[in-house]
Amino acid sequence: QVHLIESGGDAVQAGGSLKLSCVASERTFSNYDMAWFRQAPGMEREFVAAITSHSSTYYADSMKGRFIIARDNAKNTAYLHLNSLKPEDTAVYYCAAADGLAPDYSSAYEWSFWGQGTQVTVSS
Protein backbone atom coordinates (compact mmCIF):
# COMPACT_ATOMS: atom_id res chain seq x y z
CA GLN A 1 0.00 0.00 0.00
CA VAL A 2 1.32 3.41 -1.00
CA HIS A 3 0.06 6.47 0.85
CA LEU A 4 0.21 9.75 -1.03
CA ILE A 5 -0.15 13.22 0.44
CA GLU A 6 -0.52 16.25 -1.83
CA SER A 7 0.16 19.85 -0.87
CA GLY A 8 0.72 23.22 -2.48
CA GLY A 9 -2.77 24.04 -3.69
CA ASP A 10 -3.85 27.65 -3.27
CA ALA A 11 -5.96 30.46 -4.65
CA VAL A 12 -4.10 32.51 -7.27
CA GLN A 13 -4.86 35.01 -10.00
CA ALA A 14 -4.79 34.16 -13.68
CA GLY A 15 -1.25 34.11 -15.03
CA GLY A 16 0.18 32.97 -11.72
CA SER A 17 2.12 29.83 -10.85
CA LEU A 18 1.97 27.10 -8.26
CA LYS A 19 4.10 24.12 -7.31
CA LEU A 20 2.22 21.04 -6.13
CA SER A 21 3.99 18.31 -4.18
CA CYS A 22 3.08 14.68 -3.59
CA VAL A 23 4.95 12.81 -0.87
CA ALA A 24 4.81 9.01 -0.93
CA SER A 25 5.13 6.70 2.04
CA GLU A 26 6.69 3.90 0.04
CA ARG A 27 10.43 3.44 0.49
CA THR A 28 10.64 1.99 -3.01
CA PHE A 29 9.09 5.16 -4.44
CA SER A 30 11.65 5.15 -7.25
CA ASN A 31 10.05 1.98 -8.65
CA TYR A 32 6.64 3.59 -9.08
CA ASP A 33 5.25 5.56 -11.97
CA MET A 34 3.51 8.74 -10.85
CA ALA A 35 0.78 10.90 -12.29
CA TRP A 36 -1.33 13.96 -11.67
CA PHE A 37 -5.02 14.18 -12.44
CA ARG A 38 -7.50 16.95 -11.76
CA GLN A 39 -11.22 17.13 -11.22
CA ALA A 40 -13.41 20.19 -11.50
CA PRO A 41 -16.91 20.27 -9.94
CA GLY A 42 -19.35 18.21 -11.96
CA MET A 43 -16.60 16.93 -14.26
CA GLU A 44 -14.81 13.62 -14.66
CA ARG A 45 -11.30 13.17 -13.35
CA GLU A 46 -8.92 14.39 -16.06
CA PHE A 47 -5.36 13.27 -16.81
CA VAL A 48 -2.75 16.01 -16.48
CA ALA A 49 0.70 14.41 -16.63
CA ALA A 50 2.68 11.29 -15.78
CA ILE A 51 6.31 10.50 -15.05
CA THR A 52 7.74 7.01 -15.16
CA SER A 53 10.23 5.45 -12.78
CA HIS A 54 12.85 6.26 -15.40
CA SER A 55 11.64 9.90 -15.57
CA SER A 56 10.01 9.74 -18.98
CA THR A 57 7.18 12.26 -19.04
CA TYR A 58 3.75 12.37 -20.65
CA TYR A 59 1.29 15.28 -20.79
CA ALA A 60 -2.27 15.93 -21.76
CA ASP A 61 -2.14 17.93 -24.99
CA SER A 62 -4.03 20.86 -23.51
CA MET A 63 -1.51 21.28 -20.70
CA LYS A 64 1.71 20.63 -22.55
CA GLY A 65 4.02 23.62 -22.28
CA ARG A 66 2.34 25.13 -19.20
CA PHE A 67 2.63 22.30 -16.69
CA ILE A 68 5.78 20.39 -15.79
CA ILE A 69 5.92 17.09 -13.90
CA ALA A 70 9.05 16.10 -12.02
CA ARG A 71 10.20 13.75 -9.28
CA ASP A 72 12.87 13.60 -6.61
CA ASN A 73 13.39 9.98 -5.61
CA ALA A 74 15.64 10.93 -2.69
CA LYS A 75 12.67 12.80 -1.17
CA ASN A 76 9.96 10.30 -2.22
CA THR A 77 8.24 13.24 -3.86
CA ALA A 78 6.59 14.01 -7.17
CA TYR A 79 5.92 17.57 -8.27
CA LEU A 80 3.64 19.40 -10.65
CA HIS A 81 4.66 22.91 -11.66
CA LEU A 82 1.66 24.92 -12.84
CA ASN A 83 2.46 27.99 -14.92
CA SER A 84 0.38 30.61 -16.74
CA LEU A 85 -2.66 29.49 -14.82
CA LYS A 86 -6.13 30.09 -16.21
CA PRO A 87 -9.51 30.13 -14.48
CA GLU A 88 -10.35 26.85 -16.26
CA ASP A 89 -7.45 25.21 -14.39
CA THR A 90 -9.51 25.48 -11.21
CA ALA A 91 -9.91 21.96 -9.82
CA VAL A 92 -8.85 19.53 -7.15
CA TYR A 93 -5.51 18.08 -8.21
CA TYR A 94 -4.79 14.46 -7.31
CA CYS A 95 -1.56 12.53 -7.22
CA ALA A 96 -1.58 8.87 -8.27
CA ALA A 97 0.90 6.00 -8.31
CA ALA A 98 1.18 2.68 -10.09
CA ASP A 99 3.69 -0.11 -10.32
CA GLY A 100 4.11 0.00 -14.06
CA LEU A 101 2.77 2.40 -16.68
CA ALA A 102 -0.31 1.05 -18.42
CA PRO A 103 -0.78 1.67 -22.16
CA ASP A 104 -3.88 3.68 -21.31
CA TYR A 105 -2.09 5.75 -18.70
CA SER A 106 -4.46 8.68 -19.16
CA SER A 107 -7.28 6.65 -17.64
CA ALA A 108 -7.76 7.06 -13.91
CA TYR A 109 -8.70 3.37 -13.69
CA GLU A 110 -5.11 2.38 -14.49
CA TRP A 111 -3.69 3.98 -11.34
CA SER A 112 -3.68 1.99 -8.11
CA PHE A 113 -3.00 4.52 -5.37
CA TRP A 114 -4.39 8.01 -4.86
CA GLY A 115 -3.89 10.97 -2.57
CA GLN A 116 -6.66 13.04 -1.03
CA GLY A 117 -6.23 15.96 -3.42
CA THR A 118 -5.26 19.61 -3.14
CA GLN A 119 -7.45 22.52 -4.28
CA VAL A 120 -6.25 24.95 -6.92
CA THR A 121 -8.44 28.01 -7.54
CA VAL A 122 -7.60 30.49 -10.28
CA SER A 123 -9.46 33.80 -10.42
CA SER A 124 -9.68 36.09 -13.43
Looking at the DSSP bridge assignments, the partners of residue 33 are 98
Q: Report pLDDT digits (tens) over 48-88.
A: 999 999 999 999 998 889 999 999 999 999 999 999 999 99
Average pLDDT, the chain: 95
High-pLDDT (> 70) share of the chain, %: 100
What pLDDT is recorded for position 27? 79
- Write down the pLDDT at residue 31: 92
Instruction: Give the pLDDT band of residue 100 (cuts 50, 70, 90).
Output: confident
Mean pLDDT over 95-117 rounds to 93
The conformation of residue 104, written as its DSSP 8-state character, comes to T
Determine what percent of the chain is predicted with pLDDT higher than 90: 88
